[in-house]
C-alpha cells in the first residue's frame, strides 16, 4: 500500500547558503509544499523561501497554504484551551495534507532546524495519533543558535560544561540552575537586562541575513547599547529576530 511521505526540511536561519546539500537533494523530490501561515509572516522571510525554491527546484510543484489558528495567550482554562487549539491546528494541517496524492511527496520548509522551538513535528505527531497515515522524514538545518556562535566565532559550551537553551520569558523568571551558559531565544522583553552585569553576552539579530547585527561584551557595559540598536533596527525594518548567548565564567 502506498504511503504518503512528508519531508520536514530545515532551511537555516536566514542565509540561503545555510541550505544543506541534503536539503537541496530533498527539494528535488517534492510535489507539494505546505505552508502554515501565522498571518504575521514577514515579507523577507517569505521571500527567502521563494528564492530557495527558485534557485534549487527545477521540477513542477504545488504550493498549498493554510492559516494557523490563533492561540489565546492568557486562557482561563489553560489545558482545555491548548487542547482545543491543538485540535483546530491538526484539522487545518489535515486539510492541507488532503491535497497530497497517495504516491506524492509533501514538504514543510522550517526556519532553522525543525527540532528547535518549532511546532511542525508536534503537529504531525498529533495527526498520526489521530489516525492519519503518512511517513515523516526530517532534514536538519542550521539553527539560529549555530548562526549566532558562528557570527561571534565562539563555542556554544565551555569545556566540558552544559548549556541550556531557553526563552526570554523563562530567563526573566531567574537564571537556570546548574549552568553557566544560556542561549536565549524568543525574547521580546530584554530579559538580559536582569542578569548579573558581569555576565558576558553574545547578541545577534537577523543572523545570516544582509542586515545581521552582532554585539558582544559585559552585560553591564553593552545592555543599553543592545536595547538601543534593537529598538532602532526593529523600528526601521518593522520586525526583528534576535538570539543571544549569556556566559558566566
Ligand atoms: C520560533 S523560533 C524558531 C527557531 C528555529 N527553528 C531555529 O532553529 O533557529 C524563532 C526564534 O529563533 C530565533 N531566530 C531565528 N532566526 C533568527 C535569525 N536569523 N537571527 C536571530 N535570531 C533568530 C529568534 O530568537 C526567534 O525569536
Mean pLDDT on 122-145: 94
**pLDDT above 70 (res 69):** yes
Instruction: Give, for ligand 1, the residue of 8, 14, 111, 234 to mutate: max count of ligand atoms closer than 8 Å to Cβ.
Output: 111
**Where do the domains of the chain lie, and which CATH numbers do they carry?**
5-139 (3.40.1010.10), 144-247 (3.30.950.10)
Pocket of ligand 1 (CB under 6 A): 13-14, 111-113, 116-118, 143-144, 185-186, 204-209, 241-243
**pLDDT above 90 (res 85):** no
pLDDT 10s digits, 179-218: 999 999 999 999 999 999 999 999 999 999 999 999 999 9
Centre of ligand 1 to C-alpha 119, Å, is 13
Average pLDDT over the chain, rounded to an integer = 93
Q: How confident is the model at residue 72 (pLDDT cuts 50, 70, 90)?
A: confident
**pLDDT above 80 (res 43):** no
Centre of ligand 1 to C-alpha 185, Å, is 7
| Entry pTM | 0.93
Q: Which atom of ligand 1 is nearest to the CA of 144?
A: 9
CB atoms within 10 A of CB 35: 16
Mean pLDDT on 103-117: 96
Distance CA 231, CA 23 (A): 34
* Region of residue 39 (phi > 0: left; psi between -120 and 50: alpha; otherwise: beta): left
Q: How confident is the model at residue 84 (pLDDT cuts 50, 70, 90)?
A: confident
pLDDT for 95: 93
Question: Could you tell me the three cell numbers for 93?
Answer: 494541517
Contact assessment for residue 116 and residue 143, using Cβ atoms and an 8 Å cutoff:
yes
Amino acid at each position: 500500500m502506498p504511503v504518503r511521505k512528508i519531508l520536514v526540511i530545515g532551511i537555516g536561519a536566514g542565509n540561503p547558503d545555510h541550505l544543506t546539500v541534503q536539503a537541496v537533494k530533498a527539494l528535488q523530490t517534492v510535489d507539494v509544499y505546505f505552508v502554515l501561515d501565522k498571518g504575521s509572516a514577514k515579507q523577507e522571510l517569505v521571500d527567502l523561501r521563494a528564492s530557495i525554491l527558485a534557485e534549487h527546484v527545477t521540477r513542477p510543484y504545488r504550493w498549498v497554504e493554510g492559516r494557523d489558528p490563533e492561540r489565546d495567550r492568557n486562557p482561563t482554562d489553560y489545558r482545555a484551551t491548548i487542547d482545543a487549539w491543538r485540535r483546530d491546528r491538526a484539522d487545518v494541517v489535515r486539510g492541507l495534507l488532503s491535497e497530497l496524492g497517495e504516491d506524492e511527496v509533501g514538504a514543510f520548509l522550517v526556519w532553522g532546524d525543525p527540532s528547535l522551538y518549532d511546532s511542525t513535528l508536534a503537529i504531525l505527531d498529533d495527526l498520526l495519533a489521530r489516525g492519519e497515515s503518512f511517513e515523516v522524514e526530517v532534514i536538519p538545518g542550521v539553527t539560529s543558535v549555530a548562526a549566532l556562535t558562528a557570527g561571534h566565532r565562539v563555542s556554544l559550551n565551555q569545556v566540558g560544561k552544559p548549556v541550556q537553551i531557553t526563552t526570554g520569558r523563562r530567563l526573566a523568571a531567574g537564571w537556570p540552575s546548574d549552568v553557566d551558559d544560556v542561549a536565549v531565544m524568543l525574547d521580546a522583553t530584554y530579559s538580559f537586562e536582569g542578569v548579573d552585569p558581569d555576565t558576558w553576552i553574545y547578541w545577534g539579530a537577523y543572523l545570516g541575513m544582509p542586515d545581521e547585527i552582532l554585539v558582544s561584551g559585559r552585560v553591564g557595559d553593552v545592555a543599553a547599547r543592545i536595547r538601543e540598536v534593537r529598538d532602532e533596527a526593529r523600528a526601521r525594518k518593522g520586525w526583528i529576530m534576535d538570539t543571544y548567548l549569556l556566559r558566566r565564567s
